[in-house]
């Protein structure tokens, strides 16, 4: 059985290939979009990019659905994109150089304080760019965002093991990751998010006057939550940026045509196919569109177009989930079944109520109890939410849409910074446009600048810890050993246990496990207080032929007794780290032998 390690290529080559693939995808999307829609507006250019991501991820989803996945086929797709991208870049080199020169001239024209702030902004963005190219180390990425692509490559099919409940959350983002993993570029998802961020910054700055362009860039690039979301293979930031661009497009576009509305629909459906929570965002965008729709285009035509595109884009996902789980939105509807799986229900409760901060809402948006958790807050920008009532008269459709999304998140989704970052980004351009000329607005700009300067050390520390992985295989291995959740543990297990051993582990970072492993969710969310569930757990452990279980040093005595586990080795200490180097700790685990599971192994 292969792990993510088996798909690694030489580290510098991986970085170069990731960069070339991401840039080529952006160039191709932009070129096709400009040829079809005849527009060079920054907002539309961003929509072209998201539509390109949709086309790629939808194609890979279909390939997986029909069990046609192979490393060779995905390499053909990768190199086809790269060669086309290089060809188009050579044809458009004068245009690209001209764009760079214009931005450089605008940068040089800044006054002293603005120049210093802009330099810091570019340094932060440059740091994020380098972080997006480093080897994945965080537990989120090494859970289903990369572990699922590894399983799909092994099976040659999208039809993964349905007992891995996190895998059920997979969407278009994991298809982009699949392309990256197959080509030795597991960091591709983070680079895609970086390119999406640059597109969104350009789209936002195009909506305000020249004097406020730097401010609006600071308001986005200085948000502390980016430190968690951006250098990550979780595509939540991709979806947030996509819906933000859609919001800008609906809010400001004039002379809309049906073809441009369909482009908007494709971008919206791409976001919906990334993560369930974006269905709420799409509903809010529909509210905005209905309030601002062009009267010269038939609502009937728009509705039919949306229904057809939704069936085409999301149909394969919904069909797959219906056939594989009996629930097109698994695990959201598990409670409606006649005999629901209690583990699936608890898993749904876990993801809905997950919190990164120890502070209650809304304090968790602004406050943190340690420097290591600074990436869990939105920072000073949250004060903008206080202006919602005052902005209502100026922009009723937009504020109605934002309030709709805020209420939906409060009642249905997670009350955490990374979910509330989305309505914040929708609100920022409205706030700056309305109050940018106010006498006291400069204090808001100073506050954003101060926050940006405070973020610089965190980005620098992240680079210090992770950037060595860019330069050589040996340094990449060192970074993985010191910083990647589950990597050192996987090596220890491989060295300690027999080659034929099947394992269960409480560590949810499974991408580096080189042997058959038990579904983490059934180990963690089974109630040990209920005999029937304990019996079901023992039966499932037997079905997976589990010999050994890896558990934390403390707090697992009841589980050990329930499965009659006996100590084998340990405890062993490993790093538990995130992309924020200040949020590091250690954990201890031991290996236990399961003695009472007597189901014979297949020969």
pLDDT score at 600: 43
pLDDT score at 4: 92
Torsion of CA 498, 502, 508, 514, to 10 degrees: 60
Please, what is the Cα angle at 277 between 525 and 33, to 5 degrees?
A: 135
**Which residues in the chain land under pLDDT 50?**
598-603
DSSP 239-286: HHHHHHHHHHHHHH--S--HHHHHHHHHHHHHHHTT-TTHHHHHHHHH
d(CA 405, CA 100): 37
Please, what is the Cα angle at 318 between 313 and 324, to 5 degrees?
A: 140
Token digits for 150?
């590894």
pLDDT score at 376: 85
Sorted by sequence, the CB contacts under 8 Å of residue 8 that are 6+ apart come out as 14, 184, 186, 473, 476
Cis bond upstream, residue 591 (ω within 30): no
pLDDT score at 602: 43
d(CA 261, CA 600): 59
DSSP 96-117: HHHHHHHHHHHHHTS-HHHHHH
pLDDT score at 362: 81
Name the 3-class secondary structure at 503. Answer: strand
Pairing label, strands 548-552, 565-576 = unpaired
Candidates 568, 564, 558; CA nearest to 541 is 564
Q: What is the dihedral sign for C-alpha 482, 487, 491, 492?
A: positive
DSSP 439-491: TTHHHHHHHHHHHHHHHHHHHHHHHHHHGGGGT-HHHHHHHHHHHSTTHHHHH
Measured over all CA atoms, what is the biggest interatomic distance in the chain, rounded to whole angstroms?
Answer: 79
Torsion of CA 200, 294, 392, 46, to 10 degrees: 0
Q: DSSP state, 601?
A: P
Q: How far is CA 490 from the centre of its chain?
A: 24
Token digits for 524?
């963690």
Q: How far is CA 531 from the centre of its chain?
A: 38
Q: DSSP state, 141?
A: I
């Amino acid at each position: 059985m292969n792990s993510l390690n088996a798909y690694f290529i030489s580290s510098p080559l991986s970085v170069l290939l990731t960069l070339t693939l991401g840039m080529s995808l952006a160039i191709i999307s932009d070129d096709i979009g400009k040829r079809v829609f005849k527009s060079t507006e920054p907002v539309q250019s961003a929509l072209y990019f998201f539509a390109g991501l949709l086309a790629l991820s939808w194609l890979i989803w279909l390939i997986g659905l029909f069990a046609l996945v192979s490393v060779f086929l995905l390499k053909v797709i990768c190199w086809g994109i790269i060669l086309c991208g290089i060809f188009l870049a050579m044809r458009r080199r004068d245009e690209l150089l001209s764009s760079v020169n214009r931005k450089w001239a605008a940068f040089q024209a800044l006054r002293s304080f603005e120049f210093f702030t802009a330099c810091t902004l570019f340094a932060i963005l440059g740091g994020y760019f380098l972080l997006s190219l480093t080897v994945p180390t965080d537990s989120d990425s090494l859970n289903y965002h990369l572990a699922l692509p590894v399983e799909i490559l092994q099976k040659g099919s999208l039809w993964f093991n349905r007992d891995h409940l996190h895998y059920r959350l997979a969407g278009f983002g994991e298809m982009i990751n699949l392309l990256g993993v197959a080509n030795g570029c597991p960091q591709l998802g983070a680079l895609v998010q970086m390119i999406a961020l640059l597109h969104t910054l350009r789209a936002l700055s195009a909506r305000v006057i020249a004097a406020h362009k730097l401010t609006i860039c600071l308001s986005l690039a200085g948000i502390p939550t980016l430190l968690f979301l951006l250098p990550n293979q979780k595509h939540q930031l991709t979806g947030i940026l996509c819906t933000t661009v859609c919001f800008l497009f609906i809010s400001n576009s004039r002379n809309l045509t049906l073809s441009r509305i369909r482009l908007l629909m494709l971008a919206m459906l791409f976001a919906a196919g990334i993560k369930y929570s974006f269905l709420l965002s799409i509903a809010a965008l529909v509210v905005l569109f209905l309030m601002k729709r062009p009267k010269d285009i038939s609502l009937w035509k728009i509705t039919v177009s949306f229904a057809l595109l939704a069936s085409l884009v999301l149909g394969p996902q919904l069909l797959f989930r219906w056939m594989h789980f009996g629930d097109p939105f698994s695990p959201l509807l598990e409670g409606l079944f006649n005999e629901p799986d209690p583990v699936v229900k608890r898993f749904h409760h876990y993801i809905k109520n997950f919190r990164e901060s120890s502070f209650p809402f809304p304090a968790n948006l602004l406050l943190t109890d340690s420097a290591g958790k600074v990436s869990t807050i939105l920072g000073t920008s949250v004060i903008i939410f206080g202006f919602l009532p005052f902005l209502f008269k100026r922009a009723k459709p937009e504020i109605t849409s934002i309030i709709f999304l805020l209420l939906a998140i409060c009642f249905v989704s997670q009350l955490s910074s990374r979910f509330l970052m989305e309505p914040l980004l929708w609100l920022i351009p409205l706030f700056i446009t309305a109050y940018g000329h106010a006498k006291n607005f400069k204090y808001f700009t100073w506050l954003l600048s101060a926050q940006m300067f405070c973020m610089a050390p965190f980005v620098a520390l992240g680079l210090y810890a992770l950037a060595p992985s860019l330069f050589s295989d040996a340094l990449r291995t060192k970074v993985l050993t010191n910083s990647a959740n589950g990597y050192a543990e996987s090596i220890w297990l491989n060295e300690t246990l027999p080659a034929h051993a099947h394992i269960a582990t409480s560590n949810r970072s499974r991408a580096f496990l080189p042997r058959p492993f038990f579904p983490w969710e059934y180990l963690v969310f089974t109630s040990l207080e209920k005999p029937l569930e304990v019996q079901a757990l023992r039966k499932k452990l037997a079905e997976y032929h589990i010999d050994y279980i890896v558990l934390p040093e403390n707090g697992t005595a009841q589980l050990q007794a329930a499965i009659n586990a006996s100590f084998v080795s340990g405890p062993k200490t490993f790093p538990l780290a995130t992309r924020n180097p200040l949020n590091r700790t250690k954990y201890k685990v031991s290996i236990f032998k399961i003695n009472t599971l007597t189901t014979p192994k297949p020969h």
